Structure 1
Amino acid sequence: MMPFSFSTTKTVIFRRGAAKEIDSVAGALLGPRILVVTDPGLSRLGLYNPALEALRLQGKTVVLFDAVEADPSVGTLQAACALGANSNVTGVLGFGGGSSLDVAKVASLLLGSKQPLDEAWGVNNAKGSRLPLVLVPTTSGTGSEVTPVAILTFGGEEKRGISSPILLPDIALLDAELTLGLPPQITAATGIDAMVHAIEAYTSTNANNNPLSRILAREALRLLGSHIERAVSDGQDIAAREAMLLGSMLAGQAFANSPVAAVHALAYPIGGIFHVPHGLSNALVLTSVMRFNLPAAGVAYTEIAADVFPGLADVAAADRASAFVRSLGELILRLQMPSRLRELGIPEDALPRMASEAMKQQRLLVNNPRAVSEADAFAIYSEAW
């Protein structure tokens, strides 16, 4: 048995309506002055209002920062930290999708430790303590509530990450009622994102690819594969929403310990340069990367294929991996997602630049089952175009 380590969020609360009871769940932990990090869309919907009102009724001062954008910039993080510092906040509550949760994570680190951001980039470079942190996801995709990673956009286009167990929150609160009515296109993109997390965690060549991550990845794929089309077609299907939320979290726990690889590395330039949402960026290159990986990852793909598509259990083992890749492509089409880079207005002459940018993501590429050169990245983008 190989040695491994496994870290995850200390406390996970999974319950319908739990967000309305956040005062009793996390009020004491967060202290008297709470920085709430979220986005303008949630502010318009008022999705967090019951939770924040419960905190105010407990006598808490709520400091709202609702300017988080997709692929959040370093400037957005700095603005959140400035607001938190000026208000002398005692805890941070992240409420929303992966972008809001990532900003909340880093804000809690910088406000608590006073460490300069430039010293925190990379793996295990975050130092010191952070403020108490509670994360409440409102989408089923990133799994950010159980991962030690935060991604920010640096200089307008480059994606940079901070990875440290310090970023794991004290509490992840999962309330599927918050995901009801999520638009079909967002449900589809975040659901595929979660699938990518599980697939890449299972096939990662990282030294810490471990039995727990593999078990979690397979259960995530079973939940996601059997419920994503239901969730997309009916935004009020609470059972499907719960399955997606749980599957996303399990996939997050898996890749938090057995890191992702080339799909994410090649997705980052799509998001960074062309501002395509992260889940959709992953979907655009998923099958092309998997076809590239088949010579090295075919056995692993064969093992997990029927978890997503039970009918593939009847396909001969020698053909199952390729059938898995084809079935994922067909699923993306059934979900009515764009399947080609050109459908997003990405010009073909941008592919060389994207391939060059993808090579900056070596922390991810080293986990890929098959080594990826810049020429390989260009070929994958060309196939996806």
Structure 2
Amino acid sequence: MNPFTFNTSKSIQFGVGALGRIGELVKDQIGSKVMLVTDPGMMTTGIVDQALDTLKASGVSVELFNYVAADPPEEIVLQATAQARDAGVEGVIGLGGGSALDVAKLVALLAPGQEALKDVYGVGNAKGPRLPLILVPTTAGTGSEVTPISIVTTGANEKMGVVSPVILPDIALLDPQLTYGLPPNITAATGIDAMVHAIEAYASASPNNNPVSRMLATQALTLMGRSILKAVHEGTDTEARSDMLLGSMLAGQAFANSPVAAVHALAYPLGGHFHIPHGLSNALVLPHVLRFNVVTSPQPYAELAPYVFPDLARFEGQERAAAFCDSLAELSGACGLQPNLKAMDIPEDILPKLASDAMNQTRLLVNNPRPVTEADALTIYRAAY
């Protein structure tokens, strides 16, 4: 067995109603003044008010930053960091989807003033120290509450990542109730996103692909495969929502240590240029990247197929891997997601630019089971069109 490293959040607390404990957690483990990082959409749900009331009842003073945008640009991170410093907060809470959690990670890292954002992009460049950090996801998709990764939009449309175990939170607080109100389209896109995390982690060519990540990936796919359609179409089903939130977290733990690959590399330019939600971007290219991969590397996909679609166990080898790709495409459709890039009103003449931009995602492409050239990327985009 090859040597490997596995890192994850220090404490994971899961359960219906878990948000009600956030006040006592902050008081016991952080102090009496925190910044809560969230977004404008969350402010309309009542969840932020619930958190604020719980914190106030525990004697915690809260500095609220609620300006996080999807695919957060650098200026949002810097604005939140400056506010946290000025307020003298003792810790940070991220509450919301992946963007809010990613910004919260960087605020906790940058607020002490030891590092600058421009210096921490890349793998292992963030050294800390950071402020204490609690992350509370309200979507079942990114797994950001257990990943050492924060993605920031730089310039007009390019994304860069800060990757370091330093930004893993002290506590990941998961409450399935917080996902009940997610609309079907967001439930679907974030759910497919989480499944992509598990699939790519399992098949990753990273030298740190490891038995722990693979085990977590299969468990994540078992939970999500049996529940995603019910979560999409029956959004208040507690068991389905619990399966999706736990599955998303397990997939996050998996890919945090066995990194994702070409699906994400090709999804990022779609988000950068057209502001397509990250989960939907992944769903649009997923079956086409996998069809490309199974030509030379069918085994991991053949192994995974029955965890998501038990009936595929009747096939073997390459046939099972191919059926897995087809079934994933059908699942996206059954969830109500758009079937192709054309349906997203993406002009066909931009596909070469998308392929060129995808080549910048070297951190991800190196993990793909089959090498991807720019010509390959263009072929995949055309297949997805």
Answer yes or no: same fold by TM over 0.5.
Answer: yes
Letter in 2 for 1:350: I
Residue in structure 2 matched with residue 343 of structure 1 by the alignment: 343
Residue in structure 2 matched with residue 289 of structure 1 by the alignment: 289
Correspondences of 1:239-278 after superposition (within 5 Å):
239-278=239-278
Q: SS of the counterpart of 2:47?
A: coil
Residue in structure 2 matched with residue 373 of structure 1 by the alignment: 373
Q: Separation in 2 of the partners of 1:79 and 1:31?
A: 23
Q: SS of the counterpart of 1:172?
A: strand
Q: Separation in 2 of the partners of 1:302 and 1:357?
A: 30
Q: CA deviation at 1:31?
A: 1.7
Alignment check: 8 A CA contact 2:302 2:316 kept: no
Residue in structure 1 matched with residue 302 of structure 2 by the alignment: 302
Alignment check: 8 A CA contact 2:27 2:59 kept: no
Q: Separation in 2 of the partners of 1:98 and 1:32?
A: 26
Correspondences of 1:102-181 after superposition (within 5 Å):
102-181=102-181
Correspondences of 1:195-274 after superposition (within 5 Å):
195-274=195-274
Range with bigger deviation, 53-62 or 161-170: 53-62
Correspondences of 1:65-84 after superposition (within 5 Å):
65-84=65-84
Q: Separation in 2 of the partners of 1:341 and 1:69?
A: 23
Q: SS of the counterpart of 1:93?
A: strand
Q: SS of the counterpart of 1:112?
A: coil
Q: Separation in 2 of the partners of 1:113 and 1:214?
A: 37
Q: Separation in 2 of the partners of 1:14 and 1:59?
A: 24
Range with bigger deviation, 263-272 or 53-62: 53-62
Q: Separation in 1 of the partners of 2:34 and 2:150?
A: 20
Q: CA deviation at 1:316?
A: 3.4
TM-score normalized with structure 2 length: 0.99
Residue in structure 2 matched with residue 93 of structure 1 by the alignment: 93
Correspondences of 1:13-24 after superposition (within 5 Å):
13-24=13-24
Letter in 1 for 2:68: V
Q: Separation in 1 of the partners of 2:139 and 2:333?
A: 21
Residues 22-47 of structure 1, C-alpha deviations (whole Å, 9 max, x = no match) = 11223222222111000101101121
Q: SS of the counterpart of 1:264?
A: helix
Q: SS of the counterpart of 2:298?
A: helix
Letter in 2 for 1:190: T
TM-score normalized with structure 1 length: 0.99
Letter in 2 for 1:151: I
Q: CA deviation at 1:113?
A: 4.6
Residue in structure 2 matched with residue 37 of structure 1 by the alignment: 37
Q: SS of the counterpart of 2:83?
A: helix
Alignment check: 8 A CA contact 1:113 1:130 kept: no
Q: CA deviation at 1:318?
A: 3.9
Alignment check: 8 A CA contact 1:21 1:51 kept: no
| Structure 1 residue ranges (4+ consecutive) displaced by more than 6 angstroms after TM superposition | none
- State the identity %: 56
Residue in structure 1 matched with residue 315 of structure 2 by the alignment: 315
Residues 349-379 of structure 1, C-alpha deviations (whole Å, 9 max, x = no match) = 1111111110110000000000011111111
Residues 153-172 of structure 1, C-alpha deviations (whole Å, 9 max, x = no match) = 00120000000000100000
Q: SS of the counterpart of 2:202?
A: helix
Q: Separation in 2 of the partners of 1:283 and 1:191?
A: 10
Aligned alpha-carbon RMSD (Å) = 0.9
Alignment check: 8 A CA contact 2:26 2:32 kept: no
Q: SS of the counterpart of 2:13?
A: strand
Q: Separation in 2 of the partners of 1:374 and 1:358?
A: 8
Q: SS of the counterpart of 1:48?
A: helix
Q: CA deviation at 1:342?
A: 1.2
Letter in 1 for 2:329: G
Alignment check: 8 A CA contact 1:39 1:67 kept: yes
Q: SS of the counterpart of 2:231?
A: helix
Q: SS of the counterpart of 1:296?
A: coil
Gaps of 5+ in 1: none
Q: Separation in 2 of the partners of 1:297 and 1:139?
A: 32
Q: Separation in 2 of the partners of 1:151 and 1:251?
A: 17
